[in-house]
Amino acid sequence: MKFGVIIFPGSNCDHDAYWTIREVAQQPVTFLWHESHDLQNCDAIIVPGGFAFGDYLRTGAIAKFSPVMESVRRFADGGGLVLGICNGFQILCESGLLPGALMRNTGLKYICKPVRVRVENSDTPFTNACRQGDVLTIPIGHMEGNYFCDDETLNELRREHRIVFRYSTSSGEITDSANPNGSLDNIAGICNAGGNVVGMMPHPERASEAELGGIDGMKIFQSMVGALAGR
């Protein structure tokens, strides 16, 4: 199996994701340049966090036009695994690979801190190493993490069990106080209808080694490795 990590101008978590895959998960990984259509025969793609193109127009709005994203769309349509983290989640929404949008945080402040997220769906290639209801501690670092969609889309996400993570208390309660950014329905991560594309605002690569303060995020990458090994 082989992972690919996309590099956009302004990405600042690409090397973190690369390190986690190579050194912690110990899997082959390569960087993918945003101007290239070539996904280099990768089996999973990570769209990392950062500030793609400086977020000068709107988060993810310029990155969606990158040649690599055309290939990612085709890859996802064919069932390939795609994980968007933070800015990567925003890019996936802008690209139409996931529904909804990420807006400015309530309070209009950048937030960088560990949060708790409850696993709502453990039956995905990204969460199969978890149990439904597990509470993971994973850091966030964003200004536009306030997930929003219309009522029809929200009902569809709920009905199809496509809400993968919700912000929660340490005991797993879904409360307003546990919601760091005002996200609709405490949503921290969702998947597409096929379950092979996930976007999440928390940074699992920042919680993949004990030296970083926790290893809960590693469960996301372990799940992906397990899913690919089972194919």
Q: Do residues 55 and 12 make contact, with C-beta atoms less than 8 angstroms apart?
A: no
C-alpha torsion sign, points 9, 13, 17, 22: positive
* Residue 151 to residue 157: CA distance in whole angstroms: 10
Active-site residues, by number, are 86, 203, 205
Q: Do residues 203 and 141 make contact, with C-beta atoms less than 8 angstroms apart?
A: yes
